[in-house]
Structure 1
Amino acid sequence: MQVWAVAFDPPSFTEELYQKGLLLVDPASSARIKRFYRREDACRGLIARLLPRLLLKDRGVAPSMMTFAATEAGKPYVTTPNIDPPIAYNLSHDNGSVVMAFADGKSHPPAYSIGVDVMKVHLPRRNSYRSFVDTFQEQLTLLERELLSPAVSADEGLRRFFWMWTMKEAYTKALGLGLGFDFSRIEFDVVANRVRVDGQVPQGWIFHKFQMTETGEQYVGVVAELVEGVETIVVPETDPKPWFKSFRAVTFVNRAIEELTQTE
């Protein structure tokens, strides 16, 4: 399993770079990107589509041979034939970060074996910590609500909440589930680093926690990876992360332009 994280700084992302990047994706993807009202969202959408393409290029796939599809729930996956081993990937983005997790999709269909979620640790405007957390009460278990109680400082409680939420998102995304899954069925004990689903530890999962700081803002994230024959574990964010690579958006897109426009 590996993670590529692209830090996005809007002022540095020029119109020329954006237009050149659009030429690297298929017409349907380009049209979807252009539909975003805010240019920042369009740039994040562009980076998200370039990430798997650059991954395939690194695996020796010519740009003209790259094909993708999406599940009924909207989760994209690679359909390029004759990739050995198959590639499973998933994407997430929030504010100034776009993240892709990927792994060999051997044990399960690639569309249903890995999920990632990343979120900026912050309070929305005009929200107190208590009012913000209370908004999500029905999606939290009793234990999770206790771990976010007023006895915990607001700063620590906010970090705990985003760990819980990214864990729930990553798990359901790995399974290819769409909106409507009851998040209260998933419990993440952030103190013990233990995950339960419907009261039981799910079998065969590795949950990788990670954190990063971009332009002074803190982000936390989780990769959920379904692996055959392993005891489910949660890998703490403090463990070494040789599988994590970070890029600046401008550098990343310029690299994509260079490599994806090479003569096949």
Structure 2
Amino acid sequence: MRVWAIAYDPSDFTEELYQKGLLLIDSTSSARIKRFYRREDACRGLIARLLPRILLKQRGVASHMMTFAATEAGKPYITTPDINPPIAYNLSHDKGFVVMAFTNGKAHPPEYSIGVDVMKVHLPRRDSYRSFVDTFHEQLTPLERKLLSPAVPENEGLQRFFWMWTMKEAYTKALGLGLSFDFSRIEFDVMANIVRVDGRVPQGWKFHKFQATEVEELYVGVVAEFLEDDSETLVVPETDPKPWFESFKAATFVEHAIRDLAQAEK
């Protein structure tokens, strides 16, 4: 399993770079990106579509051979034939980060092998810590609510909440279900690093925690990887260095994508 994290800074992302990047993707994806009202959302969408294409390019796939589809829940997956082993991937973005987690797809189909979520640790404007947490009361378990109690320092409690939420998101995205799954069924004991679903630890999962800082802002995230066996579920704590985690600046990434994908066509 690996993660590519792209740090997005609007000041580095020129109009020329944006337009050249659009030429690297299919017309349907390009049209969808152009419908975004805010340019920063369009740029993040462009990065998200370039990431799996660069992954396929590294496998020797020409751009015109790259094909994708989406599940009924909207989760994208690779349909390019004859990739061995198959590739499972998932994307997430929030504010200044776009991340892609990927692995060899062992599940059948591979679109249900992996999920990732990343979020900036922050309070929305005009929200207090208490009112923010209370908004999610019904989607948290009694233990999670206890771990977010007023007795916990606000900074610590806020980070705990985002670890819990990204864990829930990553797990349900790996299942291909997303928000259709009742999040209160999933419990992340952030103190013991234990995940429970319906009160029990699920079998055959590995959860990788990561965090990153961009422009002095903290982001946390989780990758949920289904291993397809009866092994004990493991939560891998945040460690540094992380050999499976690579971070790139958005402008540099797109410049390399323009070069590399053009070469893939020659």
Say which SS state the counterpart of residue 261 (structure 1) adopts.
Answer: helix
Map of 2:191 onto structure 1? 191
Say which SS state the counterpart of residue 83 (structure 1) adopts.
Answer: coil
Map of 1:130 onto structure 2? 130
Map of 1:212 onto structure 2? 212
For 1:236-264, what per-residue CA distance to the aligned partner results, in whole angstroms no more than 9, with x for missing partners? Answer: 01254111011000000000000111243
**Shift in alpha-carbon separation, 1:98–1:148, aligned structure 2, 3 A:** same
The 5 A counterparts of 1:179-258 are: 179-229=179-229, 230-238=231-239, 240-258=241-259
For 1:165-207, what per-residue CA distance to the aligned partner results, in whole angstroms no more than 9, with x for missing partners? Answer: 0000000000000432110000000000000000010110000
Give the conservation status (yes or no) of the 8 Å contact 1:74–1:178.
Answer: no
RMSD: 0.8
Say which SS state the counterpart of residue 179 (structure 2) adopts.
Answer: coil
Distance between the aligned counterparts of 1:109 and 1:240, measured in 2?
32
Map of 1:99 onto structure 2? 99
Give the conservation status (yes or no) of the 8 Å contact 2:44–2:98.
Answer: yes
Distance between the aligned counterparts of 1:155 and 1:113, measured in 2?
33
The 5 A counterparts of 1:49-64 are: 49-64=49-64
Q: What letter is aligned with 2:111?
A: A
Distance between the aligned counterparts of 1:177 and 1:186, measured in 2?
13
The 5 A counterparts of 1:19-98 are: 19-98=19-98
Kindly tell me the number of residue pairs found equivalent between the two proteins.
264
Distance between the aligned counterparts of 1:184 and 1:107, measured in 2?
26
Q: What letter is aligned with 1:238?
A: T
Give the conservation status (yes or no) of the 8 Å contact 1:88–1:103.
Answer: yes
Q: What letter is aligned with 1:22?
A: L
The alpha-carbon deviation at position 106 of structure 1 amounts to: 1.6
Q: What letter is aligned with 1:42?
A: A
Distance between the aligned counterparts of 1:134 and 1:121, measured in 2?
16
Distance between the aligned counterparts of 2:45 and 2:22, measured in 1?
10
Distance between the aligned counterparts of 2:12 and 2:239, measured in 1?
31
Give the conservation status (yes or no) of the 8 Å contact 2:120–2:218.
Answer: yes
Say which SS state the counterpart of residue 179 (structure 1) adopts.
Answer: helix
Say which SS state the counterpart of residue 180 (structure 2) adopts.
Answer: coil
For 1:202-224, what per-residue CA distance to the aligned partner results, in whole angstroms no more than 9, with x for missing partners? Answer: 11000000000001100000000
Moved more, 161-170 or 237-246: 237-246
TM-score, normalising length: structure 2: 0.98
Q: What letter is aligned with 1:241?
A: K
Which stretches in structure 1 are left out of the alignment for 5+ residues?
Answer: none
Say which SS state the counterpart of residue 24 (structure 1) adopts.
Answer: coil
Map of 1:147 onto structure 2? 147
The 5 A counterparts of 1:165-184 are: 165-184=165-184
Distance between the aligned counterparts of 2:175 and 2:19, measured in 1?
34
Say which SS state the counterpart of residue 20 (structure 2) adopts.
Answer: helix
